[in-house]
Amino acid sequence: MFEIKNGMSNDNSQEIGDNHVGTSAKTPLRDDAFAINDTEKMARIQDSVRDILETLGMDLEDDSIKGTPRRVAKAFVNEIFSGLNPENKPRLSTFDNNYKYGEMLVEKNITVYSTCEHHLLPIIGRAHVAYISKGQVIGLSKMNRIVDFFAKRPQVQERLTMQVVQALQEALGTQDVACVIDAKHLCVNSRGIRDVQSSTVTSEFGGKFKDNDVKREFLDYIKMDTDFD
């Protein structure tokens, strides 16, 4: 346990401050993360949110805010952080590449809604995912769904990018998978430096995508104008 002094714990989070720290490609979950069910989690979160709002001085008897603890608890468990639960991972069914398509397949502009694990503020952006088949192909929507699954948890963008690639590599049985994510972090845009123009770009290239020519082809596809409106 951490020693508490002046209402603050003696862990090293104060030393780290706002520095961007990542520890692993795996989401940091305790072994007992699913020891209680979602209903109990929502009850505990509801109590915690109520305590936070009351500590901030909010009047929870007001009709506008009295339901906020319950709404936040439901949103956290069922939506915003639903990707923490492995039971929610989409089934990544694959099919034989009977038409022998041998070029890269790119799914671009996949919407990313995630949450920065450092300040619990939104990350909003786009993911671009590609793979080259080694005999198996996957439904297009599954690529969107796997991005959404890993995005719906407290995240750092580097880890999210790696998790998407690793999941598709495992499902497709090939290392030839790539992902680029371009996103705005509201912990940068709305607090601290408050730079509303900047965005963060991360990439993970596996197998053939490490080859400069293949990588360039993928990046050129991303830049293509595909506005069909």
Interval 16-32 mean pLDDT:
72
**5 within a domain of the structure (yes/no):** no
**88 within a domain of the structure (yes/no):** no
Range of the domain at 63: 31-80
pLDDT for 126-156, tens place per residue?
999 999 999 999 999 999 999 999 999 999 9
Looking at the structure, tell me whether residues 69 and 103 fall in a common domain: no
**199 within a domain of the structure (yes/no):** yes
Looking at the structure, tell me whether residues 162 and 191 fall in a common domain: yes
Active-site pick, 128, 155, 163, 187: 187
Looking at the structure, tell me whether residues 182 and 151 fall in a common domain: yes
Active-site pick, 46, 107, 118, 163: 118
* Three-class SS of the chain: CCCEECCEECCCHHHHCCCCCCCCCCCCCCCCCCCCCHHHHHHHHHHHHHHHHHHCCCCCCCCCCCCHHHHHHHHHHHHHCHHHCHHHCCCCCEEECCCCCCCEEEEEEEEEEEEECCCCCEEEEEEEEEEECCCEEECHHHHHHHHHHHHCCEECHHHHHHHHHHHHHHHHCCCCEEEEEEEEEHHHHCCCCCCCCCCEEEEEECHHHHCHHHHHHHHHHHHCCCCCC
116 is catalytic: yes
Q: Domain of 76: which CATH number? A: 1.10.286.10
118 is catalytic: yes
Residue 191 pLDDT: 86
20 is catalytic: no
pLDDT for 50-69, tens place per residue?
999 999 999 999 999 999 99
Active-site pick, 46, 107, 116, 128: 116
Looking at the structure, tell me whether residues 50 and 140 fall in a common domain: no
- The yes-or-no verdict on residue 19 having pLDDT over 70 is no
136 is catalytic: no
**76 within a domain of the structure (yes/no):** yes
185 is catalytic: yes
**106 within a domain of the structure (yes/no):** yes
87 is catalytic: no
187 is catalytic: yes
